[in-house]
């Protein structure tokens, strides 16, 4: 058999409700004030982790976009500088550093590959830059002086930058590297 309850407001200032059973006895109802703040306190840490994760991912995505723009500008500068440069690394470093001022120059690394068009004859040269003061160091047995920038060859610029996906001190991808590559035909 179920008891019938009738809810009434007590005369006290506490805001608690009295429940009156059909037999006339008064029982205090549970007061649920403050439960919202406790629920918020339980959810807040997860909400902050997600929010900070979104911000960190947004920064990494912005770095990738900047890196892509830098590789595009560097390849364009190299493709139009045929015969006007003595150091291809310096020619590409200027646009890379000017397009990506928010990225640390010490961490930017770029590789230049100059190769004949598909089906063509000629050597393929790969040059890797040193960090802040770029001068080409050959990564193969040959180097590519400015005279090797032949019209119709393909100049490919690859730029790499380390990314940081740390959220509250835990790096979720410690070996993450952002890479952008662009190829342009030498004019």
DSSP assignment of 150-166, as one string?
-TT-EEEEEEEEE---E
Residue 21 vs residues 1, 6, 12, 15, 27: alpha-carbon distances, Å: 13, 7, 19, 19, 8
Length of the chain, in residues: 187
| Cα distance between residue 154 and residue 121, in whole Å | 12
In tens digits, what is the pLDDT along the chain, a chain of 187 residues?
555 555 555 555 555 555 556 666 665 556 677 888 999 999 999 999 999 989 999 999 999 999 999 999 989 988 888 767 667 777 888 888 889 888 888 888 888 887 777 666 555 556 666 555 555 654 443 444 555 677 888 888 888 899 888 888 888 888 889 999 998 888 8
Token pair listed for 28? 């205090």
Token pair listed for 119? 């089906």
Q: Let me know: does 114 contact 88? Beta carbons within 8 Å.
A: yes
| Cα distance between residue 107 and residue 102, in whole Å | 11
Which of 154, 148, 142 is closest to 83 using CA atoms? 148
From the centroid of its chain, how far is CA 1? 64
pTM across the whole model: 0.68
């Amino acid at each position: 058999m179920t008891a019938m309850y009738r809810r009434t407001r007590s005369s006290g200032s506490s805001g608690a409700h009295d429940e009156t059973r059909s037999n006339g006895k008064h029982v205090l109802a549970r007061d649920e004030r403050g439960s919202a703040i406790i629920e918020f306190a339980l959810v807040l840490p997860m909400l902050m982790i997600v929010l900070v994760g979104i911000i960190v991912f947004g920064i990494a995505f912005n770095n990738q976009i900047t890196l892509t723009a830098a590789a595009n500008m560097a390849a364009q500068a190299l493709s139009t500088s045929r015969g006007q440069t003595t150091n291809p690394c310096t020619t590409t470093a200027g646009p890379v550093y000017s397009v990506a001022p928010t990225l640390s120059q010490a961490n930017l690394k770029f590789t230049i590959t100059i190769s004949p068009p598909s089906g063509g004859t000629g050597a393929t040269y790969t040059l890797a830059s040193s960090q802040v003061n770029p001068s080409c160091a050959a990564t193969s047995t040959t180097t590519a002086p400015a005279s090797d920038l032949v019209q119709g060859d393909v100049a490919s610029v690859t730029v790499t930058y380390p990314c940081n996906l740390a959220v509250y001190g835990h790096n979720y991808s410690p070996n993450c590297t952002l890479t952008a590559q662009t190829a342009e035909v030498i004019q």
